[in-house]
Amino acid sequence: MKSAVVTIKPNEHRVMMLITVEAEYVAQLRNAVTTACGKWLEFMRVQPVAHSTLMRVWLGLFESAQLAAMSAIVLSLPEAEIGRIQHIE
């Protein structure tokens, strides 16, 4: 998969995306997002869902990288669930 061209604007907002995937696909998710967003990914927090094989993943990234991240996730992990996306300070 090719890396998307993302241009960060001065004073650009950051967003946090919630993704839910099966635990076995977390490494694949990390690879897809870092390839697509690279330095525009600020953090990635992973937490297991209790009594389940699912993992919740929070991605913190610049707003202009949001589309590239979503595209990479949907193309590489179509079964991933993209949840809430919110602006962060």
52: CATH: 3.30.70.260
Residue-wise pLDDT for 40-49, tens only, equals 999 999 999 9
Round to whole Å and give the CA distance between 88 and 85: 10
User: How does the average pLDDT of the chain come out, rounded?
Assistant: 90
Round to whole Å and give the CA distance between 41 and 68: 11
The pTM score is: 0.84
Round to whole Å and give the CA distance between 50 and 52: 5
Residue 4 lies in a domain: no
Residue 58 lies in a domain: yes
Round to whole Å and give the CA distance between 1 and 33: 11
What is the extent of the structural domain holding 62?
14-88
Following DSSP, what letter does each residue of 52-81 receive, concatenated? SSEEEEEEEEEGGGHHHHHHHHHHH-TT-E
